[in-house]
Structure formats: C-alpha cells, structure tokens
Chains A and B, each alone.
Chain A
Amino acid sequence: MAIRLDYVMRETGSNLARNFTLTFAAIITVAVSLTMVAASFLIGQGINNSFLGLRSEQRLFVYMNPTASEEQTDAVSKALDDSGQVDEVEFYDRDRTFEEFQTLFRDQPDLINSVKPEDLPTSFRVKPESTDAEIVSSLGDSLESLEGVKQVAYAAEYARDVQRSVTTLNRWVQFTGLILIAASVLLIFNTIRTAVFARRREIEVQRLVGARNWFIRMPFIAEGLVHGLFGALLAAGGAMAFNTLWKRNFVDQVSFELLNEIRWDTGDVVMSIVIVFIVGAITGAVGSGIAVSRFLRI
C-alpha cells in the first residue's frame, strides 16, 4: 500500500507541475465560484434569520400629510399615547426625517440637494404591543382614519420589499455561482485531458503490462481533487473575508436598519466552509472523472 500512495502522490505532483498555468486557472475559477456559493449560503441563512427578527418587531410608520396642521399632529400623538395597543411611539419631525433621508441616500448627492426638509413629511414610528398581524393591521386601519394622516406603512411590508430585493440578489449570486462551477468542471476536465494526453506513453505501457484500471486512473482523479480542494481552501478564505466585509458594512451601520436584520453566526460561517469543501471535492472529482472515462482507454 505504501508504494501506491507514494506513487500516486509523485505522479500527481509531476502532473500538476507540468501544466501549471492550466492548473492555476482551474483552481482560481473553482475558488471564485465556491466563494459565491459560500456567500449565497450565508445570505440565505441571514434572510432566514431575519424573518424571525421581524416577526417580533412589527412597526408602523404613520406618515402625516405635509400640509397637516399642528392640532392634527397633536391629536394623532395623543391618540397614540392613549392607545393601549401601542408600546412605544417616536416622533420624527421634518429635520429628523431629513437627517435620516440624508443618511439613507448619502451616495446620491443630487437627490439630497433637490429635497428640502419642508418637502418631507413628519411621521410617527409606532411599536405595537401585539405581534399579531390582524391586531396590528386593525390598529393601522384606525390610525389611517385619523385626520391629517396621509398613510400608514407597515414595517413588515417595507421589510418584505428589502427581503425580496436581497433574495433576488441572492438568486443572481447563486446563478452566477452555478455557472462558474460549470466553468470550473470544464476547466478541470480540460486540464486532466491534457495530462492524460501528456502521459499517453506511460499509460500505454501500464496497460500492456497489466496494471489495474483504477491504478492507472487514480493519479488523474487525484489531480482533479487537488484542483477542487485547493480552490475550496481559497474560497474558505473568501468566505471569511465576505463575512467580515458584510458585518462591517451592513450589520454595524445604523442607517441600513433593515439590512441589519440579515445576519448569521459563526456556526453558519463554519457550515459554509464545510459546504465549500464538499462542493469543491465533487467539482474536482466530476471534472477529472469525465475526462478520464472519455480519454483514458483501458
């Protein structure tokens, strides 16, 4: 057995070194595609987690008419304070709404310059007592009927929009990831095919003297696996980098309130790395397996 492991490692090593450019290309492609797989897994987990968060954090946004009078605004405020259904109320005057507006759209200076605080409505951020959707809904309806109230928006709806966008984005990431995995399989296939061709004399002699089929195939399958696993190793680093970047840019930033919800824990990151290695190994084995069965006549 010792000679076989020794032999396989030696042969695989020389195969890899011989065609380094092709090997390198294959590994990089695997790495990029697997990083996308990891990222989409994490985002998916985050979306799942966030549904739970939202369910316990229903919010109502009561938007006043820009032309509403002070009495009307006070009346709404009083109604909210008196209501047994309301847990917390927060009033956003025009300046505060404008501040929030500026933060949300800070990368669109033209938009900010075209809007003045007077153009923006005032609003009440309402946290209902109940988490029951029906009760919250009827609370919203009764608030909407008050004078001066333009519209009542449900955080859930707003959040659902964000959810939908992120899910769509995630689908695109998955789609791209899948295409890249297919490209990886092709590249590995090509690399192994080249390796088989380069070793055709040795293979012929091995066949003639009666080497077992798997013995002849093994170094090439091993080579494919190396591509897949090395790519996975790089992708593991990529996943961790993605994790750090996401946390830094979205979770800890106050303005992306709802994107805050999309978070995952270390366990998820570990899981994504495990997935990456499994998919990497499969990609490598499939790519080389197909090449070997098509080009290695036994």
Chain B
Amino acid sequence: MNREERPEKGTIHVAGKDIGALPGHKVPDLRRNVGSVFQDFKLLPTKNVAENVAFALEAIGRPKSAIKEAVPQILDLVGLGSKAKNMPDELSGGEQQRVSIARAFVNRPLILLADEPTGNLDPATSVGIMKLLDRINRTGTTVVMATHDRGIVDTMRRRVIELDNGRIVRDQVRGVYE
C-alpha cells in the first residue's frame, strides 16, 4: 500500500488512485499519507524518543519551529510525554511501538498502516496498543492492520478482510478471526 513492494498481479488503489501507475517522484507524497508501523518498530537506536519522531518531520522538510511544537503533542497523545529523552533501548516493547505509532501519525496521514504491530508484544501490552490505534481511528484516520492475532480481531470486531494466497476470500463489516 505504500509501494514498498509491487504486486505480481492485480492493481492497488489508495484514495482513488492506482498507485502502481504512480510516477516515481509522486511516491513520497503517497507515503506521507500512509503512515507505517511495523512489527520490529524500526526506531533509530542512536536517537532518543523525541529525536526519532522529529527525524520523520525533518525528512519531509518541516521547519524547526513546527517540529518543536508537534513532537511533544504527539508524544502526549501516545502516552509517552515523560519519556521524550529516553533512548529506544531504555523502553519496553510496548513503549517502542508507541514511539513508532507517534512517528507514523505525527503528520496526520489519511491512512495508518500497521503490519503486525502486536507481533512482538505480550497480550497485555497488545491491548494498550490497540486502544491507542482505536483512539487514532476516532480522529478520522483510517487504520489498516495486518495481523495474525486472533484475540485482537475478536475483541475489536471491526471490518475484517481475510486473504488467502493473495486472494480476498472474506470481507465482513464486524468480523471475527475464525
């Protein structure tokens, strides 16, 4: 969905646009609107929490003043306001994922893409992360999550799309894992 990989067959449309047909220089714009969160967090180990989030804003050219404002705000939103100066290795798995989510969401993208966000987390922490994603969803952001976590799917009861060998075999409005 963010054109990290191309499908072998078929097309992908995001927000009405066929992203396979996008010219190379338009891809960054797509990615700015699809915030990504991964199972392995993908944080920069040599930067602290605030710097990790700021890095994402610097990379898309936001001025220093805007960054100074936005970073504390988003860290509060994800519940890490007090941990701004901590390094990633000082944080728990759940906290690191929150930083990741903060980084993905700080630019208010249209879609938040989460690839197995709870894959490396214990069940209790996973609940916390899902609550956060739910909060984000309520602000109007579409959250697309790929998961094998049965418990979460059954608890959240949201739209479930099941894929089998690259084919959509189910699309349910309030679904369970099955």
Contact assessment for B61 and A202 in the assembled complex, using a CB-CB cutoff below 8 Å: no
Contact assessment for B103 and A209 in the assembled complex, using a CB-CB cutoff below 8 Å: yes
B residues in contact with A78, CB < 8 Å: none
Contact assessment for A210 and B30 in the assembled complex, using a CB-CB cutoff below 8 Å: yes
B residues in contact with A116, CB < 8 Å: none
Count, chain A residues at interface, CB 8 A: 19
Q: Is the CB of B14 closer than 8 A to any CB of chain A?
A: no
With A3-B61, A3-B64, A215-B61 in contact, is A208–B28 under 8 Å at CB? no
Q: Is the CB of A83 closer than 8 A to any CB of chain B?
A: no
Contact assessment for A206 and B59 in the assembled complex, using a CB-CB cutoff below 8 Å: yes
Q: Is the CB of A68 closer than 8 A to any CB of chain B?
A: no
Contact assessment for A210 and B31 in the assembled complex, using a CB-CB cutoff below 8 Å: yes
| Complex CA distance for A208 and B59, rounded to whole angstroms | 10
A residues in contact with B4, CB < 8 Å: 208
Contact assessment for A210 and B28 in the assembled complex, using a CB-CB cutoff below 8 Å: yes
Number of A-B residue pairs, CB cutoff 8 Å, is: 61
B52 smallest CB distance to A (angstroms): 8
With A201-B44, A202-B44, A298-B24 in contact, is A207–B61 under 8 Å at CB? no
Q: Is the CB of A293 closer than 8 A to any CB of chain B?
A: no
Q: Is the CB of A294 closer than 8 A to any CB of chain B?
A: no
B40 smallest CB distance to A (angstroms): 11
Q: Is the CB of A248 closer than 8 A to any CB of chain B?
A: no
Residue among B29, B35, B55, B61 making CB contact with A205, cutoff 8 Å: B55
Which residues of B25-45 have CB atoms within 8 Å of chain A's CB atoms? 25, 27-33, 35-36, 42, 44-45
Q: Is the CB of A67 closer than 8 A to any CB of chain B?
A: no
Q: Is the CB of A211 closer than 8 A to any CB of chain B?
A: yes
Q: Is the CB of B97 closer than 8 A to any CB of chain A?
A: no
Give the interface centre of A7, A208, A213, A215 by most chain B CB atoms within 10 Å.
A208
B residues in contact with A206, CB < 8 Å: 55, 59
Contact assessment for B42 and A7 in the assembled complex, using a CB-CB cutoff below 8 Å: no
B65 smallest CB distance to A (angstroms): 10
| Complex CA distance for A215 and B45, rounded to whole angstroms | 22
| Complex CA distance for A2 and B64, rounded to whole angstroms | 9
| Complex CA distance for A204 and B4, rounded to whole angstroms | 10
B residues in contact with A211, CB < 8 Å: 28, 59-60
Chain A, interface SS category: helix
Which residues of A1-52 have CB atoms within 8 Å of chain B's CB atoms? 2-4, 7
Residue of B nearest to A7 (CB): B58
Contact assessment for A208 and B61 in the assembled complex, using a CB-CB cutoff below 8 Å: no
Residue of A nearest to B65 (CB): A3
A215 smallest CB distance to B (angstroms): 7
| Complex CA distance for A35 and B161, rounded to whole angstroms | 66
Contact assessment for B103 and A213 in the assembled complex, using a CB-CB cutoff below 8 Å: no
Q: Is the CB of B107 closer than 8 A to any CB of chain A?
A: yes
Q: Is the CB of B166 closer than 8 A to any CB of chain A?
A: no
With A3-B63, A3-B64, A215-B61 in contact, is A205–B28 under 8 Å at CB? no
B residues in contact with A7, CB < 8 Å: 58
| Complex CA distance for A204 and B100, rounded to whole angstroms | 14
Contact assessment for B29 and A210 in the assembled complex, using a CB-CB cutoff below 8 Å: yes
B residues in contact with A216, CB < 8 Å: 59
Residue among A2, A3, A202, A213 making CB contact with B28, cutoff 8 Å: A213
Residue-wise, chain A 187-206 has the 8 Å CB interface mask toward B (1 for contact) of 00000000000000110111
B residues in contact with A208, CB < 8 Å: 2, 4, 31, 36, 42
23 sample A-B contacts, Cβ–Cβ < 8 Å, listed by A number? A3-B61, A3-B63, A201-B42, A202-B44, A205-B44, A205-B59, A207-B31, A208-B2, A208-B4, A208-B42, A209-B36, A209-B59, A209-B60, A210-B27, A210-B29, A210-B32, A211-B59, A211-B60, A212-B28, A213-B25, A213-B28, A215-B59, A298-B27
A-B residue pairs, 6 tightest by C-beta: A210-B32, A210-B31, A211-B59, A210-B28, A209-B56, A206-B59
Name 20 extra pairs, CB < 8 A, besides A209-B32, A211-B28, A212-B61: A3-B58, A7-B58, A201-B45, A204-B42, A205-B44, A206-B59, A208-B4, A208-B31, A208-B36, A209-B31, A209-B35, A209-B60, A210-B27, A210-B28, A210-B30, A211-B59, A215-B59, A215-B61, A298-B24, A298-B27
- Which positions in A face B, CB cutoff 8 Å? 2-4, 7, 201-202, 204-213, 215-216, 298
